């Protein structure tokens, strides 16, 4: 589009934005939420027009004018935004992250399928034929897991908790372990999504295989009571990290007319939002796994009730949070 036609088409919008700017600049009291939302939409449009002007190499006068409007708009828009890190963190948790998950439902559903289909298949197959776990995860892995939870089973019988000092140590281990797995899933997206798919399927197979094996063990109920609560956050975090990796992979496979570098830049923001939320869920999982999951002084039935409630809470949060 020629510059004159571009100016004629959008002059009224620029004028309206400039008038709104002048009102905000003169206004000492806080603007209403409704007017700020409208101003935010106008500001986004100005930034878009500025980018078009620079990309099409329109005259410097037009670009300078739009640049000035954008800078003044930015100053006014964020004048009313809290600069608190905690406020931005709260906005991300309450609104931005669940909205991103819903907006990216296609890759999120694919990530769920890549993880939970192998998990359920491995769980069923190993439950029917326990020696299969050794072929999947290595020799004696099942026996080692069963033995590690035998002590917890005895602690349930005696209503005794493990030493409190172990909680701190295990919390640090869980944080490192969970985030390293999630980061591998996310970074695997840079291999056109193949790395993400491989890591996600592999983790699903191993976790499902262990779950199937523990169905036959005397310490099986202790194992399930341990994993049911923090699994709501840990497994969901792993899946959403994989969704972020798939988003990166799709940007490389289908750049939609952009260069792959530009496509990564555009889609990387969405992928990073999914990964940030996954890290948050994994941090919560580490807290639950370190301090709640090992408790054996409480009835095992209560641990299952709490665990199932947490699974429902996580998915209701992702489905409903940030809709208003």
Q: Where are the domains of the chain?
A: 3-81, 87-320
Task: Dig out the tokens for 225 from the structure.
Answer: 């009571």
Give the end-to-end CA distance of the chain in Å, rounded to a whole number: 38
What does the pLDDT profile of the chain (324 residues) look like in tens digits?
688 888 888 888 888 888 888 887 777 666 666 777 788 888 888 888 888 887 777 876 788 888 888 888 888 777 665 545 677 788 888 888 999 999 999 999 999 999 999 999 999 999 999 888 888 877 778 888 888 888 788 877 777 666 555 555 555 556 677 778 888 888 888 888 899 999 999 999 999 999 999 998 888 898 999 999 999 999 999 999 999 999 998 888 888 777 888 888 888 888 999 999 999 999 899 888 888 888 888 888 999 999 999 999 999 999 998 876
CA-to-CA distance for 184 and 207, rounded, in angstroms?
16
Please state, in angstroms and as integers, the Cα–Cα distance from residue 71 to each residue in 20, 22, 35, 75, 304, following that order. 14, 13, 19, 6, 54
- pLDDT for 247: 92
pLDDT at residue number 162: 61
pTM exceeds cut of 0.85: no
């Amino acid at each position: 589009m020629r510059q004159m036609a571009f100016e004629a088409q959008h002059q009224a919008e620029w004028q309206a934005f400039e008038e709104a700017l002048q009102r905000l600049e003169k206004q000492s009291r806080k603007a209403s939420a409704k007017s700020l939302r409208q101003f935010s939409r106008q500001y986004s449009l100005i930034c878009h027009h500025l980018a078009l002007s620079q990309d099409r190499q329109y005259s410097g006068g037009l670009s300078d004018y739009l640049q000035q409007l954008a800078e003044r708009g930015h100053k006014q828009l964020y004048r009313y935004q809290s600069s608190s890190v905690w406020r931005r963190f709260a906005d991300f948790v309450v609104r931005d992250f669940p909205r991103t998950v819903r907006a990216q439902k296609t890759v999120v559903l694919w990530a769920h399928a890549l993880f939970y289909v192998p998990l359920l298949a491995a769980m069923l197959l190993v439950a029917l034929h326990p020696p299969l776990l050794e072929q999947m995860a290595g020799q004696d892995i099942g026996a080692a897991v069963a033995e590690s939870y035998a002590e917890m089973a005895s602690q349930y019988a005696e209503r005794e908790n493990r030493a409190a000092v172990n909680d701190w140590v295990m919390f640090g281990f869980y944080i490192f372990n969970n985030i390293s797995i999630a980061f591998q899933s996310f970074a695997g997206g840079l291999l056109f999504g193949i790395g993400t798919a491989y890591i996600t399927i592999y983790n699903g197979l191993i976790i499902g295989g262990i779950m199937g094996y523990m169905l036959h063990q005397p310490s099986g109920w202790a194992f399930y009571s341990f994993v049911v609560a923090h699994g709501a956050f840990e497994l969901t975090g792993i899946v959403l990290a994989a969704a972020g990796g798939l988003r990166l992979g799709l940007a490389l496979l289908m750049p939609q007319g952009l260069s792959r570098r530009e496509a990564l830049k555009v889609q990387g923001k969405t992928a990073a939002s999914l990964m940030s939320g996954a890290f948050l869920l994994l941090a919560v999982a580490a807290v639950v796994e370190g301090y709640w999951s090992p408790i054996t002084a409480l009835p095992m039935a209560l641990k299952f009730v709490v665990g199932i409630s947490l699974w429902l809470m996580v998915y209701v949060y992702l489905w409903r949070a940030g809709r208003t």
